[in-house]
Amino acid sequence: MDTHISDSSLRALLAAQRAAHAQHTPDYAQRVDDLQRLRAAFKARFDDLATAMSADFGHRSRHESQLADEMTVLHAIDHARSHLKRWMKPKRMLADWQFWPATCEIRYQPLGVVGVIAPWNYPVNLALIPLVEALAAGNHVMLKPSEHTPRTSAALAELLASVFPQERVATVLGGPEVGATFTTLPFDHLFFTGSTAIGRKVAMAAAPNLTPVTLELGGKSPAIVAPGYPLATAAARIAAGKLLNAGQTCIAPDYVLLPTAAREGFVRALRGYVQQHYPALRDTPDYTSIVSERQYARLKNLVDDARAKGATVVTLPGEDAHDPARRVFAPTLLLDVDDGMAVMQDEIFGPILPLVGYGAIEEAVAYVNRHPRPLALYHFDHDRARTERVLDQTLAGGVSVNDAVLHIVQSKLPFGGVGPSGMGHYHGHAGFLTFSKQKPVFRQARFSSLALLRPPYGAFAERMLKFLTR
């Protein structure tokens, strides 16, 4: 629901944030204090946030909320706190030798006011991690969380208002209309997480202001299982990544490429995984519901379309596992798929897993490269040389080898898409850099060697230039 905050109130909010930032740019002590107070309030209120998320989804696994939304945010805060001093320190270096004894340095300065727009699927993580990194870099922040998780967004607004004044961190509630207005504000940086289609609109709205954008988008992330890789291990790791949040994860394995002959064994292994980990799928608190009727219907349509066009549908653990009333969408495998089916064209964003057979690994690589550059790629292989080849021959936002999803939770790895899956990076130091101006400074010495190279150019200049351009 749009709360119809007007364009003029949004602009007034931005002006107040910008004035406050100009008056007092957060120094190291202030930033550490901000992060500490946010951490304490976040920990104290996380139960309320988890309850809100579960109510918004219909049901959301509390353990998964803790893993994906609590632990990750606490990690981001702690990592920033412990590295911030080093990140902020100007980096000094010698100038290029021709300019000695001059020196150079890079200083890291906050950009000013950063706008953050978040989606619904990890509504706490994807709102707070960019916010934490923007604050660590010394910015003020305006956050627009998703309208599809309204209780969580309201709880986030309360949490942030309990820690920060409006002119430092403000939460703007509302849907696409508010989002569209928000993106026309002349922010110093705009950080958007969401779909590729809306990402395009965000880039266009930011262009007239030349507001730099980071776009964290979606797409179809393939998992490749190489010949000879243990199927039970691949199936368990792919299923764990896929069924987290019931597949409503930007980097969930979207489909699996595997040797055609391995298909039956892989289906058996996936069935075994689901039976073991979700023995009573309809009743377990560990399996998350689909966020809305609209999303549930979208997933059902993907399966119906694939079935009508000749796919074989395998519902796990069995046909009666769906519970539409509670929006429990059972893990669903699709065999015999082709590119004419909607499920092989659009990002799935739910617990549907198409299996695509290949003959030689080159076919799998060619399949990936025929499609838009994905946000993530997973390769399961114990052959190092072949793994290197696959890594060299494909381009993706990020990669986990022999597992799924886990590259996103490494604080030393930058996270971000490429091409239609996004632009720019964050997480850890990469986030600090995204939200900072890396300001280069050249410092001339008392004696400048360049004084020797001024007109009128004579024989000395000739000799010098001959040497410098040798």
**Annotated active-site residue in 177, 216, 293, 388:** 216
Among 111, 117, 134, 328, contact with ligand NAD (rule: CB under 6 A): 117
CB of 295 to ligand NAD, least distance (A): 8
Among 375, 404, 430, 433, contact with ligand NAD (rule: CB under 6 A): 375
Q: Is residue 324 near ligand NAD by the rule CB under 6 A?
A: no
Amino acid residing at 461: A
User: Among the candidate windows 44-52, 176-184, 296-304, 355-363, which touches ligand NAD by CB under 6 A?
Assistant: 176-184
Q: Is residue 119 near ligand NAD by the rule CB under 6 A?
A: yes
Q: Edge-to-edge strands of the sheet including 91-94?
A: 91-94, 103-110, 436-443
| 250 labelled catalytic | yes
User: Looking only at residues 383 through 422 of this chain, which bind ligand NAD when binding is defined by CB under 6 A?
Assistant: 417, 422
Q: Is residue 302 near ligand NAD by the rule CB under 6 A?
A: no
CA distance 401 to 387: 8
List strand residue ranges (DSSP E) for 50-196, in order.
91-94, 103-110, 113-117, 140-144, 169-171, 189-193
**Could you tell me which residues come within 8 angstroms of residue 219 by beta carbon, excluding any fewer than 6 positions away?**
196, 254, 347, 372, 373, 374, 375, 417, 420, 421
Q: Looking at beta carbons only, is 193 or 289 nearer to ligand NAD? A: 193
Contact status, residue 428 vs residue 79, Cβ threshold 8 Å: yes
Q: Looking at beta carbons only, is 248 or 394 nearer to ligand NAD? A: 248
Q: How many CB atoms lie within 10 A of CB 128?
A: 28
Q: Is residue 147 near ligand NAD by the rule CB under 6 A?
A: yes
Q: Is residue 217 near ligand NAD by the rule CB under 6 A?
A: yes
Label each residue of 380-443 as H, E or C: ECCCHHHHHHHHHHCCCCEEEECCCCHHHHCCCCCECCCHHHEECCECCHHHHHHCEEEEEEEE
CB of 206 to ligand NAD, least distance (A): 10
Q: Is residue 135 near ligand NAD by the rule CB under 6 A?
A: no
Question: What is the size of the binding site for ligand NAD (CB under 6 A)?
Answer: 29
Amino acid residing at 192: F
User: Among the candidate windows 189-197, 236-244, 378-386, 428-436, which touches ligand NAD by CB under 6 A?
Assistant: 189-197
CA distance 438 to 435: 9
325: left (phi > 0), else alpha (psi -120 to 50), else beta?
A: alpha
CA distance 256 to 270: 12
Among 57, 87, 120, 255, contact with ligand NAD (rule: CB under 6 A): 120
User: Among the candidate windows 63-71, 98-106, 211-219, 265-273, which touches ligand NAD by CB under 6 A?
Assistant: 211-219
Q: Is residue 127 near ligand NAD by the rule CB under 6 A?
A: no
**Annotated active-site residue in 64, 133, 147, 250:** 250
CA distance 364 to 377: 12
Among 17, 61, 72, 121, contact with ligand NAD (rule: CB under 6 A): 121
Q: Is residue 193 near ligand NAD by the rule CB under 6 A?
A: yes
Q: Write out the catalytic residue numbers.
A: 216, 250
- Interacting residues toward ligand NAD by CB under 6 A: 117-121, 126, 144, 146-147, 175-176, 179-180, 183, 193-195, 198, 201-202, 216-218, 250, 347, 349, 375, 417, 422
